[in-house]
Structure 1
Amino acid sequence: MRRKMLLAMATLTLAGSVLAAAPVAKGDPAKGKQIVDTVCAACHGADGNSVAAANPTLAGQSQQYLYSQLKAFKSGERKNPTMFGMTAGLSDGDMHNLAAYFSEQKPKEREASDKQQLPLGAKIYRVGNAASHVPACMACHGPAGKGLPDQFPRLGSQHAGYVAKQLADFKAGADRKNPIMADIASRMTDAEMKAVSEYISGLR
């Protein structure tokens, strides 16, 4: 089991290196804002800071990650009926422009809504769970949840409810197709997922 996890982490690191090496087209934030104002703001906020926990905050996310997720929604690789419809009319340039705009916005600071979850959440995020072979989240997403641009997404200041839903989807193999995260989430208990989601929401 330990060997499998080490191989999985090595694969993730290699994949991240390949992504980082790929050229990133520069989008136009001003053009992206025009699309945001008419298409995206209702759910994600005009500055990428969503109000509803069901909708992710996009502000401050890396341009490459945002672009890759928009492409995944448009192609149906990432299954979400709402986002499939929203991206259907977007050109490749539109997606680059949106990614450029949101990446330049500043995420609003959040606090955990259930502070009783923080001790367990901090443990999972910082050191993981050796007994169940769950690695520390910060190994890829950084101690402050800022991620590693163009490799691993920013998590800090994200809605706890959204993070918990993504972990549950990874575990169930629904919507999110990511072998590494599916393997990690499959080893986490519901309590661990809830706790680490609360901890992540307060990172900055």
Structure 2
Amino acid sequence: MGKAPLISLWLAIFLSGGGYLVAVAQTPSGSAGWWGGRSRAAAEGNPEHGKRVAESKCAACHSSDGNSADPKIPKLAGQNPAYLYWQLWAFKTGARRSDIMSGIVATLSDSDLADAASFYSRQGVRPDPIKDQRLAAIGERIYFSGVGQGTPSCAMCHGSRRQAGRPVMGMMPMMGMMGNAPGLNGQHADYIVDQLKRFSSGERQGMMMGRIAVMLNDTNKRAVAEYLSGLH
């Protein structure tokens, strides 16, 4: 598949309506938050204070270094700090729903969220062992090529092995409008599958992710997740 059809579909999805940030797909359009309007350098939180926030509020589930032991709880280690901040902010504002997370972040300030995001972004993610190499190979093909003609690849937003959480080079100007996509390398396969199902069902809102996830059958979802879980 050539680059032109992929870019055309990507633009069609982007212009078809909905939110304007991948990282804050469930937050109200125009919402600022602590990170809003700042460059990444200007918005970098305090990782030392973030460590204390993480130890008191996050470590019980996500572990002190962000590598959660439970495959259904996401790893936060090495995550894009802007993306992580926006997700915490979405839980705090109710734009993304979770009884557990909403209760935890309710007492935290926006700067606390930024500090925790900064701390976890500096931790190294530990990949999971690949359980099914054949399935992971299928997932790799889907990740880089999509599931059919005109289907954008996952790598267009989430990056290659060397660009986790970054768009591929040709898409960088347009992705600047969309915010930061999460890094998926080393994430638990079970968690990735669960979130893809939530996007495809509409339980978790995301203009682009909803349309892509619904194109993946259960085997494809598991294959992509299996591939990503073993990456550094």
State the TM-score bracket (shorter-chain normalisation): 0.7 to 0.9
1:123 aligned to 2:141?
A: yes
Identity %: 37
1:152 Cα deviation after fit: 1.3
1:89 to 98, 107, 125: 107
Give the TM-score taking structure 2 as reference length: 0.78
SS of equivalent residue, structure 2 residue 96 = coil
Please give the residue correspondences for 1:3-82 in structure 2 after superposition, counting only pairs within 5 Å.
5-8=10-13, 15=21, 22-23=37-38, 24=40, 25-82=43-100
Distance 2:216 2:37 in 1: 32
Shift of 1:109: 2.6
- Aligned partner of 1:136 among 141, 144, 153: 153
Structure 1 ranges of 4+ moved more than 3 A = 2-6, 9-12, 19-22
Q: Distance in 2 between matches of 1:190 and 1:26?
A: 38
Asked whether the equivalents of residues 73 and 84 of structure 1 are also in contact (C-alpha less than 8 Å), the reply is yes
* 1:194 paired residue number: 222
Tell me by how many angstroms 1:180 deviates.
0.6
Give the Cα separation in 2 of the matches to 1:48 and 1:154: 13
2:75 counterpart SS class:
coil
Report matched runs for 1:122-201 at 5 Å.
Answer: 122-131=140-149, 133-144=150-161, 146-148=164-166, 151-174=180-203, 176-201=204-229
Where do 5+ consecutive residues of structure 2 fail to align?
A: 1-5, 23-31, 168-178
Give the number of aligned pairs: 199
TM-score by length of 1: 0.88
Q: Which amino acid is the alignment partner of residue 87 of structure 1?
A: V
Deviates more, 1:21-30 or 1:182-191: 21-30
Within 2, Cα distance between the matches of 1:103 and 1:5?
A: 28
Structure 1 residues 161 and 4, CA gap change in structure 2 (3 angstroms): same
Given residue 172 of structure 1, which amino acid in structure 2 is its aligned partner? Answer: S
Check whether the contact 2:9–2:152 (CA below 8 A) recurs between aligned residues.
Answer: no
What is the rounded CA distance, in whole Å, between the counterparts of 1:21 and 1:10 in structure 2? 22
Q: CA deviation at 1:21?
A: 9.2
State the Cα distance separating 1:90 from its structure 2 match.
0.7
Q: Secondary structure, in 3 states, of the residue corresponding to 1:156? A: coil
CA drift at 1:114: 2.4
Farther-moved stretch of structure 1 (42-51 vs 140-149): 140-149
Report if the CA contact (8 A) 1:134-1:188 is conserved: no
Gaps of 5+ in 1: none
Deviations 1:114-134 (A, max 9, x none): 223122211111111125x43
Shift of 1:9: 5.0
Distance 2:228 2:14 in 1: 21
